[in-house]
Amino acid sequence: MYVLDTNTVIYFFKGMGRVGERLLATPPTEVSLPAVVLYELEVGIAKSSSSKRRRAQLDQFLRTISILPFAREQARAAAEIRSRLERLGTPIGPLDTLIAGTTLQAGATLVTRNVEEFGRVPNLSTENWY
């Protein structure tokens, strides 16, 4: 299963890189979106000058994929990631920590252009479709 990071969804919407090609070649049942990424996308829409168009785009996209929740197991995984990376002096952003915890808990591969930052997370599989 593939879990999409915020930047991957934005690149898909904007037709950037090879994200669309890769995403359209992947069965929708194999693609998920963390609730945290949905939050980040919603913030972007709320701030957008073209929010109606962006809202329609996101709503259509969400009809084809599943949303991964952020609940107890994901919170625990994210807390362990944050604790470990802080001890090593290599923390990642707070929302990225939540995304990584959600992805690890799902046993999935995170699709992101930010592979260097997420590469600090032990056992997290990443791919860059850009």
Q: What tens digit of pLDDT does each residue of 29-88 get?
A: 999 999 999 999 999 999 999 899 999 999 999 999 999 999 999 999 999 999 999 999
The answer to whether 33 and 63 are in contact (CB under 8 A) is no
What amino acid is encoded at 128 in this protein? N
CA distance 96 to 103: 10
Q: Please give the pLDDT value at position 88.
A: 97
Q: Is the pTM of this model over 0.75?
A: yes
Check if the beta carbon of residue 2 is closer than 8 Å to that of residue 108. yes
112-126: average pLDDT? 98
In the CATH scheme, what architecture does the domain 2-127 have?
3-Layer(aba) Sandwich (3.40)
Inter-residue contact 46 to 82 (CB < 8 Å): no
